[in-house]
Structure 1
Amino acid sequence: MRKVSDILARKGGNVVTIDAATLVLDALRLMADQNIGSIVITEDGAYAGILTERDYARKVILEGRSSDHTTVGEIMSTNLPRLLPENTVDHCMQVMSEGKIRYLPVFNYSELIGIISMSDVVTETILSHEHTIEQLKNYIQS
């Protein structure tokens, strides 16, 4: 069974972070520059939440707020479920599906070690299926 640690090993644990006092517009520019759909928000250097494109659309655009007057701390998602490296990919799918969540933080005890996206989970599932298919082909041919 594939685990969160497998996803992080494949994609790496690089996490882009910004301070909660950062303006939304600056966060969006950084996300665009990095080609990412979420960014980790910190307060006093510690994990505080995640800002996603969905947060921006729903909490800035739809509420008529200004991107250059609103901080990311005001609109970030907090209290998200936390994944552990030993969690299975199936567990990730269940948590993400039930909560309609696209990005989850991964912690090793209290240390943030990565972010898992729904896309990461789908990719890992496809790779796992491809590996199983290859093994079955080899078994049939032998």
Structure 2
Amino acid sequence: MKTVAQLLKLKDLKNQEVHTIAPHQMVLEALMIMAAKNVGALPVVAHGEVVGIISERDYARKLVLKGRSSVGTPVSDIMVKEVITVDTHQSVETCMGIMSNKRLRHLPVVENGKLLGLLSIGDLVKEAIAEQAELIKQLEQYIRGE
């Protein structure tokens, strides 16, 4: 299986950019960025370091269901503070295991303290399907003696 570094290079140019937000910004700003960029989560970055992650799920469960306002609530109030990250050397398979076991949909990629990318479960599933399709093709060619 490919490594995270290889997978990040394969992503479309528009999907390689990582959109972030600061912990002091309001949840409404995070929602506006997520909607504009068509993403489901944003790493929360302070002083160049990932300090959290906020997702649409956090908004729904920690704000809407509790009757709080997205206008006056800072991201730091509802973000997940214990962020699980991976480095570029991890395999796609390892990342899928982490995401499945921890029930995550987004996984920040950090190398030497610097945020390099954000993987979604969709990115990983797409790659796994592509690799399986290639393996099937190779096995069919082997069976046919090609």
TM-score (norm 2): 0.90
Q: Flag structure 1 segments of 5+ consecutive residues without an equivalent.
A: none
Task: Specify the alignment match of 1:18 in structure 2.
Answer: 21
Question: CA offsets, 1:26-54, max 9 Å, x none?
Answer: 11011101000011211233321111111
Q: Flag structure 2 segments of 5+ consecutive residues without an equivalent.
A: none
What is the Cα deviation at residue 139 of structure 1? Answer: 2.5
Task: Specify the alignment match of 2:57 in structure 1.
Answer: 54
CA–CA separation in structure 2 for the residues paired with 1:68 and 1:4: 36
What is the Cα deviation at residue 9 of structure 1? Answer: 1.4
TM-score (norm 1): 0.92
Give aligned-pair identity as a percent.
Answer: 39
Task: Specify the alignment match of 2:8 in structure 1.
Answer: 8
Aligned AA (1:109): N
1:103 aligned onto 2:109: no
1:30 aligned onto 2:21: no
Equivalent pairs counted in the alignment come to 142
| Root mean square deviation of aligned Cα | 1.4
Question: CA offsets, 1:105-134, max 9 Å, x none?
Answer: 111121111111111111110011111112
Task: Specify the alignment match of 2:120 in structure 1.
Answer: 117
Aligned AA (2:140): K
Partner secondary structure for residue 69 of structure 1? coil
Partner secondary structure for residue 126 of structure 1? helix
CA–CA separation in structure 2 for the residues paired with 1:6 and 1:120: 12
